[in-house]
Amino acid sequence: MRKASWVLVAILVLSLSLAAGAAQDTARQREYRLKAVFIYNFIKFVDGFRFEQPQPDQGEQKGHIILGIVGEDPFEDAFDPLLEKPVGQRYLRVRRITVRPDPNDQQSVDPNGIKILRQCNILFIAGPERPRIDAILKAVRNEPVLTIADQAGFLDAGGIINLGIEENKVFFEINLAAAERANLTLRSQLLRLAKRVIRQDKHSRG
């Protein structure tokens, strides 16, 4: 009987572990689903993107809005329903990007990576890329690329929009100086909804 009890306990512990993991996944999925819709909505309030010319097979359709997700993608399929929803006359396309350091300068992204990053209209820099944030932002500095992340210190590093969580809700904050350097215009409605707007940063003093 004692053996049977241990089996039961083991099954219970395993079940609880799996259940806890599943619950965490659900919360994380919901968080990034929300953040995906935030990013989709940001596009409506930003002017100044530079779009690629449409390919011949696209007919009258205008170019896509390219969202690059740098590093490990936390969104999974969160953007899927949004790919069918036009923003103006354009559609969102998601590109997963892995960046590597420049062999000659570890503080920079390799030239091919820079090219890919600059082809994007929006860049979401995932959490694990934190050590490379300076290099990634440097690669798109003064380019019309809307940089977004969800990590503390992102705006201070020169990013444009940071997503955060407070009291179980998503908020966002904006570095307007960085947006101006990127020649992007953020509409007043967006600024009004931001929890914090930085109008000058250490990069603008330079």
The CB-of-170 to other proteins minimum distance in angstroms stands at 7
When asked if residue 167 is in the footprint of other proteins (CB under 8 A), the reply is yes
Count CA within 13 A, CB hemisphere, residue 120.
Answer: 26
Find the part of the chain contacting other proteins (CB under 8 A) among 39-47, 120-128, 154-162, 198-206: 39-47
Find the part of the chain contacting other proteins (CB under 8 A) among 9-17, 29-37, 51-59, 148-156: 29-37
When asked if residue 31 is in the footprint of other proteins (CB under 8 A), the reply is yes
Q: Which two tokens stand for residue 129?
A: 């890329």
Side chain identity at 125, as an amino acid letter? I
Q: Among the residues of 1-140, which ranges form H helices?
A: 2-43, 111-118, 133-140
Cα-based distances in Å from 36 to 52, 135, 148, 180: 23, 24, 11, 24
When asked if residue 87 is in the footprint of other proteins (CB under 8 A), the reply is no
Beta strand 105-109 with 65-70: parallel, antiparallel or unpaired?
Answer: unpaired
Q: Smaller CB distance to other proteins: residue 115 or 196?
A: 196
Q: Footprint of other proteins on this chain (CB under 8 A)?
A: 27, 30-31, 33-34, 37-38, 41-42, 45, 81-82, 85, 165, 167-171, 189-190, 193
